[in-house]
């Protein structure tokens, strides 16, 4: 496929996807049964004290000093935990902090722990024998390194125990219309990951792209053999939005992963992103989020 054919293909895909997805940013997911604090499940008439935080507060404010409840109030929902990449990517993170999040990931059965490459061997050692995966980042957070450097980073990370790699695509090349370069960038890293048995997530940094560019990036990631597309690094001017997640899900279809990351701090945030189409969530507030499922 030559560059002109590739450009025509991504333009066609972009037009088709954008025609199907609303441009309004106010994505309104179905809130049925969410049990979010300060909300009541639509259509609910019972407002169970055991499962509804709003009703529990109403009972206490009426004079009760205790409320009887079943184990549903204290049990963490494993389905929520299994969506989360427990993330610590701040440059000042210490070994002690990395070990701590690995132990939290074991405790709550998160999908993975996502750390900078230097810490991947530490995470691999801490999580040995656990189903929790080790995730790391390459070309992070700017995406401006060469494809060869990103592939070398990925290969080295997989060798020391990484099961998943989140790479930042070449944002400047995408915005310049250099689609061949973007596809090759992703494909080179995907091949390095897959040779070692790891999966690849491609970070678009959606805050820096318009909708058409987001759709093109998703299409190129899919063509290049990536396993996921991801919204954000968490280091740019804003993070995930439900609109972007819905747009990305429409662009890649049901068979590819979509990861929402950046600014997801509550159970409500997670549920909104999941309803929009995210199959994985990147969060540093992971423990707080899963503890909300037991509230």
**Catalytic positions, written as ranges:** 166, 230, 259
> Could you tell me which residues come within 8 angstroms of residue 39 by beta carbon, excluding any fewer than 6 positions away?
31, 54
User: How far apart are alpha carbons 87 and 285 in whole angstroms?
Assistant: 8
Q: Are strands 133-138 and 199-203 parallel, antiparallel or unpaired?
A: unpaired
Give me the phi and psi of 287, to 5 degrees please: -65, -45
Question: DSSP string covering the chain, please?
Answer: --HHHHHHHHHHHHHHHHHHS---S------TT---TT---TT-SS--TTT-HHHHHHHHHTT-S-----GGGTS--HHHHTTEEEEE--TT--HHHHHHHHHHHHHHT-SEEEE-GGGHHHHHHHTTTSSPEEEEEESTTT--S-HHHHHHHHHHHHHTT-SEEEEE--HHHHHTT-HHHHHHHHHHHHHHHHHTT-EEEEE--GGGS-HHHHHHHHHHHHHTT-SEEE---SSSS----HHHHHHHHHHH-TTSEEEEESS--SHHHHHHHHHHT-SEEEES-HHHHHHHTT-
Q: Are 7 and 208 a contacting pair, CB within 8 Å?
A: no
């Amino acid at each position: 496929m030559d560059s002109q054919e590739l450009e025509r293909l991504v333009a066609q895909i972009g037009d088709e996807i954008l025609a199907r997805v609303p441009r309004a940013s106010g994505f309104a997911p179905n809130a049925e049964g969410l049990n979010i604090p300060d909300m009541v499940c639509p259509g609910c008439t019972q407002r169970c004290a055991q499962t509804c935080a709003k009703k529990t507060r109403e009972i206490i404010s009426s004079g009760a000093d205790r409320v009887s409840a079943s184990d549903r109030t204290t049990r963490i929902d494993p389905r929520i935990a299994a969506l989360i990449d427990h993330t610590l990517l701040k440059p000042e993170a210490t070994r002690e902090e990395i070990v701590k999040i690995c132990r939290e990931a074991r405790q709550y059965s998160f999908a993975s722990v996502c750390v900078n490459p230097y810490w991947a061997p530490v995470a691999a050692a801490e999580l040995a024998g656990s189903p929790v995966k080790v995730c790391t980042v390459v070309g992070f957070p700017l995406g401006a390194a060469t494809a060869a450097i990103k592939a070398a980073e990925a290969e080295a990370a997989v060798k020391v125990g990484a099961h998943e790699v989140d790479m930042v695509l070449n944002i400047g090349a995408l915005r310049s219309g250099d689609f061949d370069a973007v596809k090759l960038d992703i494909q080179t890293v995907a091949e390095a990951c897959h040779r070692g048995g790891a999966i690849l997530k491609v970070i678009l940094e959606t805050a820096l792209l318009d909708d058409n560019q987001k759709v093109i990036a998703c299409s190129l990631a899919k063509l290049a053999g990536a396993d996921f597309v991801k919204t954000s690094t968490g280091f740019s001017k804003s993070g995930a939005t439900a609109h972007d997640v819905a747009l990305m899900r429409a662009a890649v279809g049901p068979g590819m992963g979509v990861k929402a990351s950046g600014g997801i701090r509550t159970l409500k945030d997670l549920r909104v992103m999941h309803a929009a189409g995210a199959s994985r969530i990147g969060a540093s507030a992971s423990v707080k989020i899963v503890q909300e499922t037991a509230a």
